[in-house]
């Protein structure tokens, strides 16, 4: 049976699912699938080739039962329309029980097997009474899932500062850690308001070009290094890693912009620390 990579669930999980029948599904086809959580609506992304599955680390398995029909779409719309009222009921019960938690989102699975409630909490929460009450109210299984602030953005965020949909809610499968070192290497602004995403943490996109910048950084003479040009010696004041240009100061105190190809020899690999500290202020990358 053919296999496909599908996206499902509020947290946009990716899984490798086997088709129940011989029929084939194109990209973007809405399907009804059996996951480890129950019956769910899912979107087919592509066939599960060796190359595509290699991009996923231990993906969940499941089965595609059928393409969604008009009746399925109506049922899904009905369930989604009931979620706001269910969420309000959950909030009311949390308040009545005095639980130290913040509800983030609620997901009602297509097959009705369970309702998944996502929440934030600083410490462990005893929600047994809450689950018991909600299970009685909704007549289905209740699953409580504690998440972090980055997961909250994945569930609720819409658009980033770039004007596009946030990465965590579109193409990112995992959200690896991002460090301030990545921002410094790329000469990004260190203003928290400019390098923080909707979650309040460093933007995931700071990882995208980091390795390119690191490679360029090692190929160019370091800030403070002494170099020899066609017309004499100079000291490197700053680098523009994307354009592979250097701002240098010559022996007669002239400051000129040269390309990496114009450097004939690197005389010393580094220079005084004060020159390196001033590099970001001297020349900014675009």
- The tens place of each residue's pLDDT in the chain, 286 residues long, gives 899 999 999 988 999 999 987 778 999 999 999 999 999 999 999 999 999 998 888 899 999 999 999 999 999 999 999 999 999 999 999 999 999 999 999 999 998 889 999 999 999 999 999 999 999 999 999 999 999 988 998 898 889 888 998 888 888 877 888 999 999 888 888 898 899 998 889 999 999 989 988 888 888 888 899 999 998 999 999 888 888 899 999 999 999 999 988 999 988 876 544 444 433 333 333 3
Query: Exposed, middle or buried: residue 271 (CB in 10 Å: 0-12, 13-18, 19+)?
Result: middle
Rounded distance, CA 116 to CA 259, Å? 57
For 238, the token pair is: 């700053």
Query: Exposed, middle or buried: residue 96 (CB in 10 Å: 0-12, 13-18, 19+)?
Result: exposed
DSSP string over 121-163: -SS----HHHHHHHHHHHTSEEEEEE--HHHHHHHH--B-TTS
* Structure confidence at residue 271 (pLDDT): 52
Rounded distance, CA 62 to CA 19, Å? 9
Compute the 3-state secondary structure of the chain and give helix, strand, coil in percent, each to the nearest 5.
30, 30, 40
98: region left, alpha or beta (phi > 0 left; psi from -120 to 50 alpha) = left
Rounded distance, CA 165 to CA 159, Å? 4
Residues in the chain: 286
Rounded distance, CA 32 to CA 164, Å? 29
* Structure confidence at residue 235 (pLDDT): 93
**Domains present along the chain, CATH in parentheses:** 3-68 (no CATH), 73-147 (3.30.300), 152-207 (no CATH), 220-282 (2.30.30.140)
């Amino acid at each position: 049976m053919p296999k496909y990579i599908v996206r499902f669930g509020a947290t946009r999980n990716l899984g490798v699912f086997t088709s129940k029948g011989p029929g084939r599904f194109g990209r973007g086809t809405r399907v009804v699938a059996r996951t480890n959580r129950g019956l769910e609506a899912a979107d087919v992304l592509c066939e599960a080739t060796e190359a595509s599955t290699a991009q996923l680390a231990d993906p969940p398995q499941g089965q595609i039962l059928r393409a969604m029909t008009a009746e399925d779409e109506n049922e899904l719309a009905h369930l989604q329309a009931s979620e706001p009222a269910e969420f309000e009921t959950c909030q009311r019960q949390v308040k009545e029980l005095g639980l130290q938690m913040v509800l983030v989102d609620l997901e009602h699975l297509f097959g009705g097997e369970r309702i998944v409630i996502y929440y934030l909490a600083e410490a462990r929460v005893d929600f047994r009474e809450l689950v018991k009450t909600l299970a009685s109210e909704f007549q289905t299984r209740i699953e409580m899932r504690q998440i972090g602030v980055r997961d909250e953005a994945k569930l609720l965020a819409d658009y980033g500062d770039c004007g596009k949909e946030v990465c965590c809610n579109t193409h990112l499968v995992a959200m690896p850690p991002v460090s301030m070192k990545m921002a410094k290497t790329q000469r990004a602004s260190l203003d928290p308001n400019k390098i923080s995403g909707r979650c309040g943490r460093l933007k995931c996109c700071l990882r995208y070009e980091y390795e390119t910048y690191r490679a360029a950084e090692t190929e160019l003479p370091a800030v403070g290094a002494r170099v020899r040009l066609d017309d004499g010696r100079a000291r490197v004041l700053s680098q523009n890693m994307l354009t592979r240009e250097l701002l240098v100061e010559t022996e007669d105190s002239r400051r000129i912009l040269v390309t990496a190809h114009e450097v004939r020899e690197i005389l010393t690999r580094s220079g005084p620390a004060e020159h390196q500290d001033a590099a970001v202020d001297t020349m900014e990358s675009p």
